Chains A and B, each alone.
Chain A
Amino acid sequence: MSALWVATIGTSVIAFLLKYSGHSIPERFLSNPKIQRINALIPIALLSALVGVQTITEKTKLMVDHRLAGVGVAVIALILKAPFPIVVLSAAITSAAIYNWF
């Protein structure tokens, strides 16, 4: 089985078990405020790290290229409170323009 299949099936199985366990365990186990707080902060850390890695790395090297310009424009769009599709499209158009013309 290829690595991509392992990732696809493994993620799906654990995602379901996490959802199902929530419906099956008593509330008091997870009512600890520290657990709640960490849980709210983990997506911020992991998703931000993903943004950084997908924007300025290539395999195990740091690399600044057309992608950074695209994501830079996405930041501006977000600051201007643009809706999600505009954010993604403006990043794609900027990045593609630089990639194709330079």
Chain B
Amino acid sequence: MSKVASTTFRDSLSVSLTVGAYGVAFGAASVANGFSVLQSCLLSLLTFSGASQFAVVGVMGAGGNPISAIATASLLGVRNGLYGVIMAPRLKVRGLKRVITAQITIDESTGVALNQESRGADAMRHGFYLTGFGVFLFWNIFTLAGALGAQAMGDIRAWGLDAAVPAAFLGLVWPRLVSNRDRAIAISAVALALALTPILPAGLPIIATAFIAIVIGLRP
């Protein structure tokens, strides 16, 4: 491996630490929604995709069945596949290396890699792997910390964790609300999910809102 530029290293480390620290929120949310500490840690190790992980614990916590939880999480995981499509020609890996590379193909590793584009192919590769492994390390450590912390709390409502969880989702979606169209989608999704809640089994109202994204995305 050629020498890592200090700017690439700095970018990767700061993203890894900040994003990894969100793992506390996931670990706590997971336990607050009924998952065990072991299941919470396995989700962070194996699923390793924040939005999907929050979705699966959110849907199960709302009383949904595993099929709707898996479907919601998987819809959110499709974008990692798209990142793979972008990164594959730039990383060119096979076999076991491809398996490991795929596992760390997430928002952050792809984002940092693409930010290094002007610094050349090596910088992109370094940014991808440093950020991918860095987020993986910190995300898993902080998940364990958050899960153990929530487990020690007892009544999570007395600690405000039942509001911290939706606030954490909100913090995830907020930076994506750039245009008026984005905000309109967000508000109609909330309205649709709430309107369907008394009618449909838990979990389905959430996944039903994907149709809003599909309908609006198909318009020219």
Contacts and interface: CB of A to CB of B under 8 A. Distances in A.
Given A14-B70, A52-B194, A23 B167 contact: no
A78 to B, nearest CB: 5
Nearest to B101: A23
Interface residues of B, number: 100
Contact of A12 (B46, B164, B191): B46
Contacts of A55: 163, 166
A44 B83 contact: no
A43 B107 CA distance: 12
Interface string B20-49: 011001000000001110010011001111
| Consensus secondary structure, chain A interface | helix
A45 B81 contact: no
Interface in A58-102: 59-62, 66-67, 69-71, 74-75, 78, 84-85, 87-97, 99-100
Given A19-B105, A27-B89, A60-B63, 14 more contacts: A7-B70, A12-B43, A37-B217, A41-B214, A44-B182, A48-B173, A48-B189, A49-B193, A54-B58, A54-B62, A59-B62, A66-B157, A91-B164, A92-B160
